[in-house]
A and B are shown apart, each in its own frame.
Chain A
Amino acid sequence: MKLSILSFGAVIPSTEENWQDELAVAIKRRTPKIWQMSHLAAARAIEQSDKKPTAVICGTTHGALNESAKFIDKLSKNDLGSPRQFLFSVHNNMAGKIALDFNIKGANITLCDSHTSLASAIITATLLKDEVVLLVAAEEHLDVLDEIYKDHDSKKLSTTPKEGAVALILTKEDISGVLKISATPPKPTACEGKAEYSSFFKPVFTMLNAIEAKEGCLIKSFSLSAEASATVTIEL
Chain B
Amino acid sequence: MAYSCPVVGTGAISSAGKGAENGYRNILKGESFLSPLSLFKWNSGEKPLVGEISDFDKSSSYSRTEALATNAVEEAIADIDLSALKVGIIVATTIGGVDQLEKEYHSTGAESAAAGKDRYVRNEAGALSGFLAKKFNCNGFHTVSSACSSGLHAIGMARRLIETKQYDAVITVGSDALLKLTLNGFNSLLLIDPKGPHPFDADRLGISIGEAAGAVLLMSNEAAEKRAENPLCYITGWGATADAFHITAPHPDGDGAKRAITEALEDSGIKADDIDWILTHGTSTIDNDRAEIEALKSVFNDKLPPFTSIKGSIGHTLSASGSVEIVYAIEAIKAGEIPPTLGFTKIDPEIGVAPAKAGKLKLNTVLKTAFGFGGNNGALIISGEKK
CB within 8 Å of A: which B350-378 residues: 372-376
- Cα A203 to Cα B125 in complex, Å, equals 18
In the complex, the answer to whether A112 meets B124 with C-beta atoms within 8 Å is yes
Q: Within residues 73 to 112 of chain A, which ones have a CB less than 8 A from any CB in chain B?
A: 73, 75-76, 78, 80-83, 86-87, 89-97, 99-100, 102-112
1/0 contact string of B104-126 vs chain A (CB within 8 Å): 01100000000001001110111
In the assembled complex, which residues on chain A have CB atoms less than 8 Å from the CB atom of B106?
Answer: 76
CB neighbours of B96 from chain A (8 A): 112
A223 to chain B, nearest CB (A): 7
Over the window 10-38 of chain A, the binary record of Cβ atoms lying under 8 Å from chain B Cβ atoms (1 yes, 0 no) is 00000000000000000000000000000
- Most chain A C-beta atoms within 10 Å of own C-beta, residue among B101, B126, B127, B240: B126
Name the one of B125, B127, B161, B188 contacting A86, with C-beta atoms under 8 angstroms: B188
Asked if A178 CB lies within 8 Å of chain B CBs, one says no
Taking CB atoms, residues of chain A closer than 8 Å to B376 are 92, 95-96, 108
A75 to B102, CA, bound (A): 9
- Find A78's partner among B43, B150, B164, B248 (CB 8 Å cutoff): B43
Report yes or no: A61 in contact with B124, Cβ–Cβ below 8 A. Answer: yes
Answer whether residue A116 sits at the interface, using C-beta atoms and an 8 A cutoff.
yes
Q: Closest CB of chain A to B132's CB: distance in Å? A: 9
| A105 and B259 contact, Cβ closer than 8 Å, known pairs A127-B161, A226-B126 | yes
Kindly list chain B residues whose C-beta atoms are within 8 Å of the C-beta of A93. 147, 247, 373-374
Q: Which of A56, A81, A152 contacts B188 (CB 8 A)?
A: A81
Q: Is B153 an interface residue (CB 8 A)?
A: yes
A56 partner residues in chain B, CB cutoff 8 A: 242
Whether, in the assembled complex, B329 has its beta carbon less than 8 Å from a beta carbon of chain A, the answer is no
Contact among A72, A91, A223 with B102 in the assembled complex (CB-CB below 8 Å) = A72
How far is it, in angstroms, between the C-alpha of A117 and the C-alpha of B241 when the chains are bound? Answer: 21
Interface size for A (C-beta < 8 A) is: 69
Residue A4 interfacial (CB < 8 Å): no
Interface residues on B, range: 35 or more
Complexed CA–CA distance, A96 and B263 (Å): 19
In the complex, whether B344 has a CB less than 8 A from a CB of chain A is no
For A55, the chain B residues whose CB sits under 8 A away are 240
Known: A72-B102, A80-B184, A82-B188. A108 touches B374 (CB 8 A): yes
Knowing A68-B98, A104-B244 are in contact, say whether A99-B375 is a contact too (CB < 8 A). yes
Flag whether A218 is at the interface (Cβ < 8 A): no
Question: Interface on chain A toward B: helix, strand, loop, or mixed SS?
Answer: mixed
Stretch at the interface among A41-49, A162-170, A180-188, A204-212: A180-188
Q: Would you call B157 and A92 a contact (CB within 8 A)?
A: no
Contacts A86-B185, A112-B143; A106 near B241 (Cβ below 8 A): yes
Nearest A residue to B180, CB-CB: A75
- Asked if A5 is an interface residue, CB under 8 A from chain B, the answer is no
Q: CB of A7 within 8 A of chain B?
A: no
* A226 in contact with B146 (CB, 8 Å): no
Is the CB–CB distance between B180 and A72 below 8 Å? yes
Q: In this assembly, does A213 line the interface, its C-beta being within 8 Å of a C-beta of chain B?
A: no
Asked if residues A92 and B145 are in contact (CB atoms below 8 Å), the reply is yes
Chain A: which residue is nearest B187 at the CB level?
A80
Residue pair B245, A87 in contact (C-beta under 8 Å) = no
* Contact A112 B125, beta carbon cutoff 8 Å: yes
Q: Are A145 and B120 in contact (CB under 8 A)?
A: yes
Question: Are B373 and A92 neighbours in the complex by a CB distance under 8 Å?
Answer: yes
B228 within 8 A of A: no
Cα of A31 to Cα of B242 in the assembled complex, Å: 20
Q: Report the bound CA distance from A126 to B124 in whole Å.
A: 25
B interface residues, Cβ below 8 angstroms from A: 43-44, 88, 94, 96, 98, 101-102, 105-106, 117, 120-122, 124-127, 129-131, 133-134, 138-147, 150, 153, 157, 160-161, 164, 166, 180-181, 184-186, 188-189, 240-248, 256, 259, 263, 267, 372-376
27 contacts between A and B (CB under 8 A): A1-B164, A69-B101, A71-B184, A72-B102, A72-B180, A75-B181, A80-B188, A96-B373, A97-B247, A102-B244, A104-B244, A106-B240, A109-B153, A113-B129, A113-B130, A114-B126, A114-B127, A117-B126, A126-B164, A129-B263, A148-B120, A152-B117, A185-B140, A187-B139, A188-B133, A227-B134, A228-B133
Q: Knowing that A96-B247, A112-B124, A188-B133 are A-B contacts, what are 13 other residue pairs whose CB atoms are under 8 Å apart, sorted by A's residue number?
A: A87-B189, A97-B247, A99-B244, A100-B244, A100-B245, A105-B241, A112-B145, A117-B126, A129-B263, A223-B130, A225-B124, A226-B126, A228-B141
